[in-house]
Structure 1
Amino acid sequence: MKKTKRILKKGLALTLSLWILSLSPSYVKASTEGASIDAKIAELKNLLEEYEKKKEEIKKFLSELEEKERELKQKEGTLISIVEKVEKAKEDVEKKNKELDQIAKALKGLNVNGLWYISYMNGKGKDVGGSAGDNEQRSQVAIKRGYVRFTKSITPWFDGHVTFDVTQVKEELVSPNKTNIDGSIMVRTKYIYGKFKLPDMGFLKKPILEFGQAHFPWLDYEEHVNWYRCQDTMFTERNGLYNSADFGITFMALFGGEMPEWYKKKVNPYYAGRYGSIALGIYNGAGYHDREKNNDKPIEARFTLRPLPDLLPGFQISYFGIRGKGNQEKNPPDWKVNLLFASYEHEYFVATAQYYWGVGNQKGSDEYDKDGYSFFLELKPFNFSNIPMSLIARYDYFDQNDKQKDLPDKKVDESKRYIFGIVYHLDKPHKNMLVLDYDHVDYEDKKLKDDKRLQLTLQVAF
């Protein structure tokens, strides 16, 4: 039994062994397949982990993209704002350009000039703020002229012109009517006119017509021969016969064309008609700083001849005349002016001589017969040396009443004036300059002491 059991056990063991052996390839295969699955599972886990990582990276990248998108939108908004601002700025610039074009168009043909006389003077008598022959010593700084001139070329044949000047107020009111403007500088209009540039009229070249508060026919001409108006007024104006502008109409022209360029450059470009020039007009007769007090309209004319333009180009002879009434409301006296004027202008010097005879004056303050004469000389070293200087001298004789031996005491009758000066030109001759002069007046009436004045004047011109 025991043996049988052992045999059975052995058989059973053998059978079991054989069965196990029969199962062994499948087991090995299953075992191998199990290991492969584990590897796959491990690989899958790794892939899942990589996926999660990539997923996180993608999320992060998407987040960054969203941030970039927000930034781009913000920048887009900024760019749109900038573009809008640029467009607005462009519109503003275009608007400003249009405004500037309008301003430029308005300023086209506009010229602005200035001419100022600023003086220090020391002496006695009328020319330093006193009265003739008062023998009182005075000194002062004075603004004798303050022109600001505007000329606008409107068309090729028409200009508009206005000149403002200054004067010092002399108020003689007493309290309670007195104000605080006595001695103040006041601006007033010296010239304001329309200027027509007319076509040539045969022998008359470059004719022009001024209508308004226009140039007086004489003084502008003389002041472009004797350039030292800054020293003081010219001979006839200084003796109270008239001033330099009036309300009316003035016609001017050159005779027979113009002088050559060398003459205009080296001698004088003004009133440079080959055979002379003309200026004439009709006016209210009150001047530019008085109102018209009657209906008389004086006629005034200047005729200038240059008889030998090739042989003596600088020699000219002029006649100036006025026929009218003095500016008085009732019974205005006659006002007659006759003036002969000869001048010789050269590159190195200028010499003039004039003789006046007439009746009354512009104001109508008297009806005396008057006469007088004057000589002027300028030497111009600046044209033949490196010295930017000129020397000037002038002599005036004037008789306020040549048919009466003497006027009442202390009333100016005959007088003699002596002027000597030295000039330093700061840039171009006769433009910006310093003028030092001595002015002496000898009155025939011995109860009037001599007037004396030493004066330094700065002329500013631009």
Structure 2
Amino acid sequence: MKKIILSAVAGLTLASSVMASDATPVFSHTDKLKFSGLTYIGLTKNSYKDELVNPNETNFELRRAYFQLKAYLLDDPKSYYRVTFDMHQNAEDDMVVRAKYAYLYLNNVLENTGVELGLVHRPWHDYEEHNAWFYRDISKVMIEAKNGGDLSNSADFGFNFKTKTQYFDSEIGIFNGEGYHSDFNDDEASDKAGNGMSLEWRATAHILGVNGKDKQTKKTYFDASFFGQYNQEHKASASGLANDYDDLVFYGLHTVYNQPEFLVSAQYVVSDDTADNSTYVSAQAGSGYSINGEYRFGNTYEYRVLARYDAWTDEELVSSDERERTSLIAGFAWQQNHNVQWVANVIVKDNEKDAFKASKPEKADSTAYMLTAQVEF
């Protein structure tokens, strides 16, 4: 991991020096390089219901800063190598850089199918963030959100086959399963480590024959998706038994309808308990749903009113012990131009009393007031 971080810093430093002066030549073993960047700059005021446990606070934030390079290495113009560096604040409150993606994409290895090899996209997150929920700068999708399912993050080591046709597209791959910033080495000292691999998939029907990705305000599309994950021995369980691992198995149904003036979307996810003993339930077993929408207006639909509601209930040995966690998001967005978007929003978390509230502020009752600038080039 230290080597990855050092390499990332070196790469960012080199790129910065190249862009700082038009006279600086760029040397490469490929004819075409493509640079891009994406940053979330924010101000958040968190107000907690129980101030004695979680004191209120207001902070300026650099939530994420991505820098991306694509190198087109082969004769096929749609094949490339991609690396994306991710600047974020770690648990020690230091700003650090790590690799988010680093993969080779080979186009048309099968009919209408390409493949990513390396540190790659997982099948679901990228689809939802480009077709149904466009505000990753204020909240992750439900299966990743801490106050939602908290099941999976967006990148992992492995391979991902991606098929695209007019009326159908899909992704299916095999991954380590722990994600790009988790420990995937099995050792007794880690409660994050696992032994098994993860099979993950998404299948999407484009009912109107239109793929909405990246041009959502200019297209009318209607999609229905089935997605999920079968992750064997995902991590060491909290049961306390030696060599006892949880599998992570979840399934989801999702639909979205979009036209230039508005969008509506909904999903339902079930995560199964796969523990081998009858006295323990996996912490990631449960079910939930999410509904989101937005209304757009203005000459180019640059003004947007947005809302989202998530509800997640963890599975327990005794059903009466199950507690629901909910999040309500409401806000207003302004797409100033192609490069800058502003969002003002509020997030209200209202959770039934459970063990998370004393130790995990991200799962405690709270109201967050947020102002965000999303900058990309």
- TM-score, normalising length: structure 1: 0.63
Aligned counterpart in structure 2 of residue 389 of structure 1, from 274, 279, 303: 303
Aligned to 2:106: 196
Matching residue of 1:461: 376
Distance 1:104 1:368 in 2: 48
Q: State the Cα distance separating 1:220 from its structure 2 match.
A: 0.4
In structure 2, the partner of 1:138 is 57
What does residue 95 of structure 1 align with?
A: none
> Shift of the alpha carbon at 1:355?
0.3
**Alpha-carbon shift at residue 227 of structure 1 (Å):** 1.1
Counterpart AA for 1:355: Y
8 Å CA contact 1:320–1:338 kept in 2: the answer is yes
**1:170 Cα shift?**
1.9
**Residues 369, 294 of structure 1: CA spacing in aligned structure 2 closer, same or farther, 3 A cutoff?**
closer
Q: Deviations for 1:340-388, whole angstroms, at most 9, x for unmatched residues? A: 0000121111111000011269xx9935531000101011214xx3663
Q: Is it true that 1:214 corresponds to 2:106 in the alignment?
A: no
**In 2, are the aligned partners of 1:335 and 1:367 still within 8 Å (CA)?**
no
Aligned position for 1:319 = 226
Q: Distance in 2 between matches of 1:381 and 1:191?
A: 35
SS of aligned partner of 1:237: coil
Give distance in 1, aligned partners of 2:51 and 2:163. Answer: 40
- How far is 1:235 from its partner? 1.0
Question: C-alpha distance in 1, partners of 2:174/2:314?
Answer: 26
Tell me the equivalent position of 1:261. none
The CA deviation at 1:105 is: 5.5
- Higher-strand-fraction structure: 2
| Matched-pair contact (CA < 8 Å) for 1:296–1:324 | yes
Is residue 260–residue 301 contact of structure 2 (8 Å, CA) maintained in 1? no
C-alpha distance after superposition, 1:28-47 (max 9, x if no partner): xxxxxxxxxxxxxxxxxxxx
1:450 paired residue number: 365
Q: Deviations over 1:223-277 (max 9, x none)?
A: 002111011111110031110000000010112xxxxxxxxxxxxxxxxxx2121
Hey, what does 2:295 align to over in structure 1? 379
Deviation at 1:450, TM superposition (A): 2.4
By relative contact order (CA 8 Å, sep 6+), the higher-ranking structure is 2
Structure ID, larger Rg:
1
The one of 65, 77, 83 equivalent to 1:162 is 83
Q: Does the 8 Å contact 2:235/2:247 carry over to 1?
A: no
- Please tell me the residue identity of whatever aligns with 1:376: N
Distance 2:203 2:121 in 1: 15
Please say if residues 42 and 371 of structure 2, whose CA atoms lie closer than 8 Å, have aligned partners that are also in contact: yes
Aligned partner of residue 127 in structure 2, secondary structure? helix
Alignment of 1:251-270 (within 5 A): 251-255=161-165
Q: Work out the CA distance in 2 between the residues paired with 1:444 and 1:319.
A: 29
| Residue among 255, 276, 281 paired with 1:342 | 255
Match of 2:187 in 1: none
Alignment-mate amino acid for residue 180 of structure 2: Y
**Partner Cα distance (1:277, 1:443) in 2:** 37
Residue 201 of structure 2, aligned match among 297, 301, 304: 301
CA distance in 2, matches of 1:387, 1:308: 22
How far 1:184 moved relative to its partner? 1.6
Deviation at 1:169, TM superposition (A): 2.7
CA shift in 2, pair 1:446/1:290, >3 Å: closer
User: C-alpha separation between the residues in 2 aligned to 1:232 and 1:155?
Assistant: 37
Residue 327 of structure 1: CA displacement?
Answer: 2.3
The DSSP-based 3-state class of the residue aligned with 1:156 is coil
CA distance in 1, matches of 2:334, 2:40: 14
Q: Which amino acid in 2 is paired with 1:281?
A: G
Residue identity in the other structure for 1:391: V
Amino acid at match of 1:149: Q
**Alignment deviations for residues 91-116 of structure 1 (CA, whole Å, 9 cap, x no partner):** xxxxxxxxx99946546311111011
- Secondary structure in structure 2 of the residue aligned to 1:339: strand
Cα distance change of structure 1 residues 426 and 106 upon mapping to structure 2, 3 Å threshold: farther
Counterpart of 2:202 in structure 1: which amino acid?
R
The answer to whether 1:283 aligns with 2:175 is yes
Query: Aligned pair 1:422/2:338, yes or no?
Result: no
> TM-score w.r.t. structure 2 length?
0.76
Contact 2:204 2:223 in 1 (8 A): yes
Q: What SS does structure 1 have at the residue aligned with 2:135?
A: coil
CA contact (8 A) 2:45 2:369 kept: yes
Q: Equivalents in 2 of 1:322, 1:150: separation in Å?
A: 29
Structure 2 residue identity aligned to 1:294: G
Q: C-alpha distance in 2, partners of 1:380/1:168?
A: 33
Residues 83-94 of structure 1 aligned to structure 2 (within 5 Å): none
Query: 5+ residue gaps in structure 2?
Result: 1-22, 185-192, 211-218, 238-242, 275-279, 358-363
Residue number in structure 2 paired with 1:151? 70
Mapped to 2, the partners of 1:446 and 1:102 lie a distance apart of 58
CA pair 133-355 structure 1, distance change in 2 beyond 3 A: farther
2:37 corresponds to 1:114 = yes
For residues 349 and 114 of structure 1, the distance between their equivalents in structure 2, rounded to whole angstroms, comes to 27
| Residue in structure 2 matching 1:357, options 258, 265, 270 | 270
**Residue 221 of structure 1: SS of its match in structure 2?**
helix
CA 404–136 in structure 1, closer or farther in 2 if over 3 Å, else same? farther
Post-superposition shift, 1:118?
1.0
Q: Distance in 2 between matches of 1:236 and 1:133?
A: 30
Instruction: Please give the alpha-carbon distance, in whole angstroms, between the structure 1 residues aligned to 2:228 and 2:296.
Output: 31
The 1-side partners of 2:171 and 2:124 are apart by 8
Measure, in 2, the Cα distance between the counterparts of 1:132 and 1:375.
30
Shift in alpha-carbon separation, 1:140–1:197, aligned structure 2, 3 A: same
Change (3 A) 1:199 1:450: closer
The 3 A distance-change label for structure 1 pair 353 and 402 is farther
